[in-house]
Structure formats: structure tokens, C-alpha cells
Structure 1
Amino acid sequence: MARRQRTLMETAYQHIRELLMAMTLRPGDWIDDLRLAEQLGLSRTPVREALFLLASEGLVLVKPGGGFLVRSLDLVDVSRLFEAHIVLAKAVAHLVVARVTDSDFGELEAAEREVNQEMERRDPAGVSAANSRLHRIEARIADNEYLERLAGQIHDQGQRLGFISFGGYSEDIKAHFDAVRTDHAEIIKAYRDRNAGQAEEVSTRHVVLFRERIMRYFDTSAADDIELTGDWITPAAGA
């Protein structure tokens, strides 16, 4: 791919990814690549290339007859997402303990501070994005390219879920954010102490905390209207 063409594709990719992360393009939505191209002032080609890349990352589905859809998040999919997330968290915890260097702690702690700042602002998009960055750093430090790719897919979906659950209804979320702060601090301490067992325990607890948050969100946001056999994120997100 020529450099200019790649730059145009990357521009389209970043724009569409932002729409996906902020739920502007919501699960199950048909993606109008022609309209996106017009909005960006681009030809259709780089937009479609960007959509194919997003499909490879699990955020978009390519329809057999042509066209693109935002990947839906149904009950089975979310259940399997958290199943994989827990397995990933345990593996990453052990590898980080084994491979983290002194210089890595500065990056981890800076990312932790960023999450705390976004939680103080109560900005759903900021919290979910900052939290995703922190856990992606962990996956990179684990230094396993296969796990890092898996982490990217899991944290992409987690960022979308975090966005809607941190800002979709009026329940006070201070207690949840306090628990997040505690978990992050204890995970990093376990890394410093080279305590793999503690790192695994807290990392697993942290995923369970997020899973419970998501379940509680749907229990309190038009749960009676959600069709569990299909897309259950779309109706809830608009509640």
C-alpha cells in the first residue's frame, strides 16, 4: 500500500474507531461507508480498507453479500467475553510479574493516575479509554504477541461496555470507582513485590468487578425490554 493511501486509510480507521468506542455507531448498526467517505472527504476505498481492518479486530462484521455491520453484543457474546477476560487477566498477571522492569513502573503508574483523573471528572468516555490504556500496557509488558492481540480485542469490547455503563444512568458510581482505584493500586503493588499469586487474585477480582457493573447496569436500564436471544446492548444503550 502506497504511503499516501495508507495515511488516508489510517485517518478513516481512527475516525470510525472513535465512533465505535463512543457508541455513535452502535451494536447491530449498518455502516454506510459511502456516507462516511463523504463526511471525511475521502474516496470509498480507504474507508472500506479501514472497515476491513476493524473487522479483523473484531469490532465490525463483513456481511456475506457485501456491506458492514457493527458487531453486536448479545448475552452469549458478553458471557464469553468475560470468560476470556478472566483467563487473559490471570495469564498477563503472571507474565508481568516475570517480565516487568523498573522502567515499566513509571508507565504503569502514569496510566493509573490518568484513570484516577478521569474518574474524578466522571467522564464515561475518558474513564473507559484510560482504563483500557492501562490494561493494554500490562499486556504489552507481558511480552507475548499472541496475548497482546487477544488483549486488544477484549479491551476494545470492554471499552465500549465501560462507556455505556459509566454514564448511562443516574446511580452514584463513587463506590465502583473507589474499588477500581483499590484494585489498580494493589495490582501494581503485586507487580513490584513480584507476587504472582496476589497479582492473579486481584486481577481476577478486577474483571469480576467490571462484569458485575455491566450486569447491574442492564438490570437497572430497561431490562424488561431487552431481547436476550438477540442484540441486548442496543436497546439498553438508548435507555
Structure 2
Amino acid sequence: MSKKDACIADLKTRVLTLNLAPGAMLDEVSLSAAYGLSRTPLREVLQRLSGEGYISLEANKGALVSAMDFAAMRQFFQTAPIIYCAISRLAAENATPVQLKKLRAAQFEFSKAKGGLDAGAMALANHRFHEITGQMSANPYLFPAMGRLLIDHTRMSQRFYRGAAPQDGVRINQAAHQHDLLIDAIERRSPEEAVEITLDHWALSRDEIERYVWPDPLPNDFGPDDTARQET
């Protein structure tokens, strides 16, 4: 792997795992030193990451990790189920045996990370799983759109995979089971079933993403008497 490819892969991982926070500024001098790249190849790296949606290049600001603001989240919720369902339908129609083998391998990595309670590895394996379904679609319009969605989806899923409550483990097991069902539907060339499973999978993801976007409220420290005084 070349230095440029290694830099791209590492920066993608750091963005997806929130090692680089949304909106964070990337210092070209520091990156150049860290990855052993001169200015020209580093800028080629940044241009590619910008084209894929991992970062944004802004005049007078330089390179910034793609933000996750309110407008972006609203568009995410509007768009994700449409893109994911279209991808799953086409995956069931177009998947090749080689791609199915890769999908099973990604699911194996997800299950292994789940068993080891490795949140970062689970998030990246889940990202890879859905990225492969996008490749299966063989659609040059949908696949780039899905790639952009997956960046934010993977970042927001960190809370899901790092959850410590018992119900979090149940949901993760449910997500893994839905992966297995989707693989089976794709292998059997069943587009309608693949879409149905995808909708169930999206509903599970949506609930967890909403917990990320709208966290639990602070506990109410007022007792009954205090509440009454607050209302008078």
C-alpha cells in the first residue's frame, strides 16, 4: 500500500470512529509530518476525501471534517430509507457470487467484533457490510449517495455500539440477525423481502440515531415541594 493510500484509509477510519470530530480542522503541516507526505500528494488525498464526503475544503479555512449539523441530520433522515431500500432491491437483483462471499466475510467480522465487544470494530464492519450491498447494486448514481450516507450513519452509530445497557446488547444482536436475513434474501434473489428487511433494519438504526441526536434529558432534581415552588 502506498503512503497516499495508507493516509486515505487511516483518515477515513479516524473520521468514522470519531477520532476526528465532526467540524474539526485538519492541519496540513501536521498531517504531512504524520503520514510522510509532501504538500502535493497530501492535497490529492484531501481532494479525494472531500469528493467522497469525509471532509470539506473551504476557502480561507482549509480542510474540515464533515460537520453533522441540524440541516445535515434532517436531510439524512429524509434520504437514508429511500437510498437503502433502493440499494437492497438492486443488490438482490444484481449481486454476484464473489460479492456475496465478501458480504459474508464482512458479517463474520461484525460478529467477531460483537463477540469481543469492540465498538469501533463493529462500527467499521457494519460500514463495510452496507458498503458491499451498495457495490452489489451496480448503480453509479445510488452507490455514491449511499457512501455519503454511510459516513454519517457510522459516526452516529458509535453510541449504539458503545452502549452499556442490557437493551443495547439486544439491539446489536437484532442488527446482526437482520444482516443474516438480508444476506439470505439477496442470495435467493428476493428484492421485495430484501426491502422489507432493510426497512426493519433502518427502523432499528433510526431509533438509535435519534438517541444520538436527541440524548436523554437531564434528571429532574426537584422534589414535589420544589416543583410546586417553581410553578408559583
Band of TM-score, shorter chain: 0.7 to 0.9
Deviation for aligned residue 1:57: 1.1
Deviation for aligned residue 1:99: 1.6
Aligned pair partner of 2:114 in 95, 114, 119: 119
Aligned pair partner of 1:47 in 31, 37, 42: 42
- Identity, in percent, stands at 24
Matched, 1:57 2:52: yes
Which consecutive unaligned segments of at least 5 residues does structure 2 have?
219-232
Distance 2:98 2:6 in 1: 32
Rg larger for: 2
**Contact 1:111-1:133 within 8 A present in 2 as well:** yes
Distance 1:61 1:104, change over 3 A: closer
Relative to structure 2, which stretch is displaced further, 105-114 or 90-99?
A: 105-114
Distance 1:163 1:46 in 2: 31
Aligned pair partner of 1:73 in 68, 84, 87: 68
The alignment covers a number of residue pairs equal to: 217
Residue 173 of structure 2 is matched in structure 1 by 178
Off by >6 Å, runs of 4+ in structure 1: none
What does 1:12-23 correspond to in 2, within 5 Å?
12-23=7-18
Residue 199 of structure 1 is matched in structure 2 by 194
RMSD (Å) for aligned C-alpha atoms: 2.2
Matched, 1:98 2:93: yes
Residue 77 of structure 2 is matched in structure 1 by 82
Relative to structure 2, which stretch is displaced further, 101-110 or 138-147?
A: 101-110
Deviations 1:145-172 (A, max 9, x none): 22222222221222222234422x5333
Aligned pair partner of 1:208 in 200, 203, 211: 203
Provide the TM-score with structure 2 as the length reference: 0.84
Residue 155 of structure 1 is matched in structure 2 by 150
Distance 1:87 1:218, change over 3 A: closer
Which consecutive unaligned segments of at least 5 residues does structure 1 have?
1-5, 225-239
